Amino acid sequence: MKIAVVGTGYVGLVTGTCFAETGNIVHCVDVDKEKVSKLKKGICPIYEPGLDVLLHRNIKENRIVFTTDLKLAVDKSDIIFLALPTPPGEDGSADLKYILEVAQKLATIITKYKIIVNKSTVPVGTADKVTAILAEKLPRELFDVVSNPEFLREGIAVDDFLKPDRVVIGTTSERAKTIMHELYQPFVRQGNPIYFMDERSAEMTKYVANSYLAMRISFMNEVANLCERTGANVDLVRIGIGSDSRIGKRFLFPGIGYGGSCFPKDVKALHYTAKANKYNFKLLDTVMQVNAQQKKILFQKIKKYYKNDLKGKQFAIWGLSFKPETDDIREAPSLELIQDLLDAEAKVSVYDPVAMGNVKKVFGSKVKYQKNQYEGLKNADALVIVTEWSEFRNPDYERMVKYLKSKVIFDGRNVYSLEKMEELGFYYNSIGRRTIHGKQ
């Protein structure tokens, strides 16, 4: 099939590449000239495991091309995916300006039947809005608008796209349904379902999935805080409840709050939709409040330990991205923590396998960027673990002990076992578990 993907960010680039991988001819369009020029040379602008290999292969086979020319891409395609940003506006609602602007342009470009597929996360009613814009200039039989929300996770995006748990397609057009069904066949060969539904239900499904997952995380963060106060161990509680198939094992990990470009904005946007429809969705209010509080938890633990005096103290931070295996720092808990430490006049040095370049754009020379995980420990008062990259799990403990000024660890992701920390004599303060006081 011939496909255009408008927007080549985390979702657009993965979508375009994976469709090319199954034999389709894909034209990817972006307004960012620098990004397009990099992609034309085969340089992947984001860190996403496995993506560059597929990208190179499909560029070489001429199955994927990059352009800034929307008209060219649309003329050469039958299906147009919109993978554009939908950032939160001032009031928490999703800002649809990118989607609606492109829809206006499409209305002047389309000359024969096209399917316009919304892959961005958009509020209920957006397919109708896009339809109305197109229908102002085009005969109704020239297009169908489909809602096809994306459920991929950054860091495992390629796998998630190639083998999705399910595909959700919102359309009431039989013509569009048949084509979308065919397009997705290579991705559901293991029997994973394609659910067809109306556009509004598909749009709602995406927000509900993200909000439900965010709610599980906030719930577990509250459980963790209670465990700390009662002497229970949240990791054991997590395993204890997760083996109940009604609950399930995944997305029960407590930490320092959910971040990323989606959970924070999508919970806000669903909350806004409820408000706009005069419904008071109380649970979502709490999910957001708990998350805001949890993002401060490491800083509070640090402040308490140093009796509010952080001036001149030196902290080594491990992990900056909002989760492992990505360079994305949008709404990353690390950013808030670094700012709080700097405001308290502490010195901060950071290490992350791939996200340091992005953090440098935010903090510049206010923090020190280390070439490996151990450099920053030299003379540091404490190690602070913010993102659970695999390489932090079994570190060289001897070097840690040798380099750190004091054997102190604040761990926002429960990376180490309490037994190991006890054995090594660390002061070790994690989430929802007893504090090990260690031997200094």
Ligand X SMILES: O=C(O)[C@H]1O[C@H](OP(=O)(O)OP(=O)(O)OC[C@H]2O[C@@H](n3ccc(=O)[nH]c3=O)[C@H](O)[C@@H]2O)[C@H](O)[C@@H](O)[C@@H]1O
Q: Is 160 in the site for ligand NAI (CB under 6 A)?
A: no
User: Of 18, 28, 227, 262, which residue is the catalytic one?
Assistant: 262
State in angstroms the smallest separation of the CB of 440 from ligand NAI: 42
Q: Which residue is nearest to ligand X (CB)?
A: 262
Report strand pairing: 368-369 vs 347-351.
parallel
**CA–CA distance, 385 with 300 (Å, rounded to integer):** 14
Site residues (CB under 6 A) for ligand NAI, limited to 106-135 = 120-121
Nearer to ligand X, 213 or 290 (CB): 213
In the numeric block, the tokens 């990059």 are attached to 66
**Count of residues that bind ligand NAI according to CB under 6 A:** 26
> Applying CB under 6 A, which part among 150-158, 217-225, 381-389, 418-426 lies near ligand NAI?
150-158
CB 82 within 8 A of CB 102: yes
Say whether residue 430 binds ligand NAI (CB under 6 A): no
- At 318, the amino acid letter reads W
Binding-site member from 4, 5, 12, 383 for ligand NAI (CB under 6 A): 12
Q: Which does 217 bind (CB under 5 to 8 A by kind): ligand X, ligand NAI, none?
A: ligand X
Interface residue with ligand NAI among 5, 8, 134, 272 (CB under 6 A) is 8
* Alpha carbon separation from 61 to 18, 64, 111, 207 (Å, rounded): 13, 8, 28, 36
d(CA 337, CA 385): 11
Residue 4 interacts with which of ligand NAI, ligand X, none, CB < 5 to 8 Å by class: none
**Among the listed residues 3, 4, 5, 10, the single contact to ligand NAI using CB under 6 A:** 10
- 255 interacts with, out of ligand X, ligand NAI, none, CB within 5 to 8 A per kind: ligand X
CB of 264 to ligand NAI, least distance (A): 11
Q: Which is nearer to ligand X, 128 or 160 (CB)?
A: 160
**Nearest of 356, 355, 398, 354 to residue 377 by alpha carbon:** 398
Minimum CB–partner distance for residue 122 and ligand NAI (Å): 7
**Residue 98 lies near ligand NAI (rule: CB under 6 A):** yes
Question: Smallest gap, in angstroms, from Cβ of residue 388 to ligand NAI?
Answer: 18
Q: Please list the residues that pair with 385 across neighbouring strands.
A: 318, 411
Name the helix (H) or strand (E) containing 186.
none
203 lies in the binding site for ligand NAI (CB under 6 A): no
**161 to each of 22, 28, 77, 115, 208, how far by Cα in Å?**
12, 17, 21, 20, 19
Which residues are at the interface with ligand X (CB under 6 A)? 121, 150-154, 210, 213, 217, 251-253, 255, 258-260, 262-263, 322-323
Q: Give me the residue label for tokens 């620098």.
A: 34
Q: Which range touches ligand NAI (CB under 6 A), out of 98-106, 171-179, 349-357, 392-400?
A: 98-106
Stretch that binds ligand NAI, among 1-9, 134-142, 348-356, 398-406 (CB under 6 A): 1-9
Strand order, beta sheet including 347-351: 368-369, 347-351, 314-318, 382-385, 408-411, 427-429
Classify residue 260 by its DSSP letter: S
Residue with token string 């001036």? 311
| 319 touches ligand NAI by CB under 6 A | no
What are the E-state strand segments in 227-386? 314-318, 347-351, 368-369, 382-385
Q: Is 11 in the site for ligand NAI (CB under 6 A)?
A: yes
Site stretch for ligand NAI (CB under 6 A), options 94-102, 225-233, 239-247, 295-303: 94-102
Residue 411: contacted member of ligand X, ligand NAI, none (CB under 5 to 8 Å, by partner type) = none
Distance, in Å, from the CA atom of 64 to the CA atom of 30, rounded to the nearest integer, reads 14
Look up 44 and say whether it is catalytic.
no
Q: Is 35 in the site for ligand NAI (CB under 6 A)?
A: yes
Site for ligand NAI in 52-91 (CB under 6 A): 83-86
DSSP assignments along 74-122, one per residue? HHT-SEEEE-----B-TTS-B--HHHHHHHHHHHHH--S-EEEEE-S--
Rounded Cα gap, residues 331 and 338, in angstroms: 13
Q: Is 4 in the site for ligand NAI (CB under 6 A)?
A: no
Q: Could you give the C-alpha distances from 351 to 107, 111, 389, in angstroms and in order?
A: 47, 52, 11
Q: 374 CB contacts (<8 Å, ≥6 apart)? A: 395, 396, 399, 400, 403
Q: Which of 410, 423, 438, 393 is nearest to 348 (CA)?
A: 410
Q: Give the pair of three-digit tokens for residue 420.
A: 């190991």
Interaction of residue 347 with ligand NAI, rule CB under 6 A = no
Name the residues that contact ligand NAI, by CB under 6 A: 6-12, 29-32, 35, 83-86, 98, 101-102, 120-121, 150, 152, 154, 261-262
Residues taking part in catalysis? 262
